[in-house]
Amino acid sequence: MQAQQEIDPEPVIQPTRWEGWVASILMIALCGVIFLQILGRFGFFPGRVWTEELTRWLWVWLALLGCAATEAHGQHLRMEILTSFWSSKAQFISEKLQQVVALATVLFLTWLGYKGVLRTWYNESVTLPVSDAVLYAALPIAMLLWAHRIIRRLIAP
């Protein structure tokens, strides 16, 4: 009885790992739009042109937020065959160095994404009533989330 009281179940939505939940919601929306496309192609109603573009937009946002969610869970692929033979101190230094390189890369991608948003700010989407900048905003937003995760890992003991 006492052992059950000591174990606290984890909350369903952890406030620091919401990217995965947003990506899941985007996946459900993506499946819904694709289903709508299928119904339109089978003649249940006239096909909607905007579903093609929305599918691509949802996929981009889903993929990039999924990258940030993967970093939040520490599940990006790692090659550790060489470092597994190193001392623990060398492994620690190697890990921190890899994180610094990853942070520099992600911040560079953030900058490129920001420039893309500025470049497309006044372009209107072909079939959706929004600016193309909404699509391009996925990159800097996801990369900032990813950078936030890397910084948290860097400063963690």
Three-state SS at 107: helix
Predicted confidence pLDDT, tens digits, the chain (157 residues): 455 555 545 444 454 568 778 888 999 999 999 999 999 888 888 878 899 999 999 999 999 998 888 887 777 777 788 888 899 999 999 999 999 999 999 999 999 999 999 999 999 999 999 999 999 999 999 999 999 999 988 988 6
CA distances from 127 to 46, 49, 54, 63, 117 (A): 15, 7, 9, 22, 18
Nearby residues of 154 by Cβ (< 8 Å), 6 or more positions away? 96, 99, 100, 103
